[in-house]
């Protein structure tokens, strides 16, 4: 599923309008609409703001994220700096992606499912194949 579809679905599940979310993250409604229509992609920092405003883990929106064009009117040096910054932000998101996804999955299931997740994680943590080495 494309990022614009994920953003739209999350907003609709939350029951808020494009205008309401645009206000929450401090942008105009037409700008927000371009993201939902797939005409533009939000920067990584903005994607985090959208996730926060929709009260969903950023990992829900993050899957298959593609870099955005840093913007028209920027010099090549500014574009390169923006791309490097986006790459750094992407690495941060990747670092926390699995943890965020695990917490989301844990919260999405009932008490019995949560107990199974804990049991499975204990089994994996005790398996020598998956243990971290002594660094």
Number of residues in the chain: 135
- Which domains occur in the chain, in start order? 3-130 (1.10.260.40)
- Would the pLDDT of 96 be above 70? no
- Bigger pLDDT: 89 vs 20: 20
Amino acid 102: pLDDT? 78
Q: Residue 133: what are its φ and ψ, rounded to 5°?
A: -75, 160
- Would the pLDDT of 8 be above 70? yes
| Residue recorded with tokens 């010099």 | 75
Amino acid 135: pLDDT? 47
Helices 29-36 & 18-25, crossing angle to 10 degrees?
Answer: 110
- Bigger pLDDT: 100 vs 43: 43
pTM across the whole model: 0.52
- Would the pLDDT of 71 be above 70? no
């Amino acid at each position: 599923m494309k990022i614009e579809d994920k953003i739209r679905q999350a907003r609709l599940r939350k029951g808020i309008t494009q205008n309401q979310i645009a206000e929450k993250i401090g942008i105009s409604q037409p700008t927000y609409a371009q993201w939902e229509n797939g005409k533009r992609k939000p920067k990584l920092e903005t994607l985090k703001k959208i996730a926060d405003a929709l009260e969903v883990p950023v990992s829900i929106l993050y899957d298959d994220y593609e870099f955005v064009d840093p913007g028209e009117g920027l010099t090549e040096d500014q574009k390169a700096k923006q791309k490097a910054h986006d790459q750094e932000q992407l690495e941060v998101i990747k670092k926390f992606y699995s943890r965020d996804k695990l917490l989301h999955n844990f919260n999405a299931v009932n008490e019995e499912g949560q107990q199974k997740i804990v049991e499975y994680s204990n089994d994996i943590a005790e398996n020598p194949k998956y243990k971290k080495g002594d660094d």
